[in-house]
Amino acid sequence: MSGLAGKIALVTGASRGIGQAIARRLAKDGATVAIHYNASVDAANETVAAIAAAGGNAFAIKADLSERSGATSLAADLCAELTKRYGSPAFDILVNNAGLGKRATIEDISEDDFDLLLQTNLKSPFFLIKALMSHLRNGGRIINISSMGTRSAYPTMAAYAPAKAGLEALSRLLAVHLGGRQITVNSVMPGATATDMNIVARDPVASRAVAETIALGRVGQPDDIARVVAFLASDEAGWVTGQQIDASGGQRL
């Protein structure tokens, strides 16, 4: 895999879980990484420090992507920080990882719930891409983190899965729209992954039942997803675009 030396990446929701693993892996491969966070400032600073201790480069940037103004605020702050550091807002890799989940059937989803999940999981990535598109270098990468819940029916993902399905549709059409600039756009679909958002997958006992639904016989770890994202961010993935990459270990095939 080609290194990412000289590349600049923004990873949203990067202070913990899958986002943190992605940020650390991209930094390990040589990229300078903007660590987006909302409330977890200590975790974000610890992630930056861990990357620096490993010889990488990173900085933290705050924005609330559950708010309508969050994406434009993040884009403006990122451009200002990159201009301050490097004299230009240009960057190379955008990973839309930040998300919000609520396990509930349609009977228990309020309109406020729906609006919040749609804002965080679809609208903010949409408008972040729109705000940053002109600053993404030709040959850049957009990687959207979706969910295997878009291909397998989970009634308790009544609002979450439709929002993520919208993100996948956006990825496909942007692959065509941005193809002339050699920018690739793909979505990654994690399955059960041991993070704060998936308590069952983190529980050593409860996760055994989940593992029985996975072809490879275990729940995922954040690093499993980070490796897939690192490939899509690399030069080797330059001929892969408009794809939904299942990274579930073969869950519920």
pLDDT at 251 over 90: yes
pLDDT band at 1 (very low <50, low <70, confident <90, very high): very low
**pLDDT, tens digit, for every residue of 74-113?**
999 999 999 999 999 999 999 999 999 999 999 999 999 9
What are the catalytic residues?
160
Q: Would you state the pLDDT for residue 2?
A: 52
> Do 250 and 192 touch, CB atoms closer than 8 A?
no
Element housing 8 (H / E): strand 8-11
Domains and CATH numbers, the chain: 8-247 (3.40.50.720)
**pLDDT, tens digit, for every residue of 157-200?**
999 999 999 999 999 999 999 999 999 999 999 999 998 777 77
pLDDT at 64 over 60: yes
Cα separation, 145 vs 155, whole angstroms: 20
pTM: 0.96
Q: Which residue has the tokens 């200002």?
A: 80
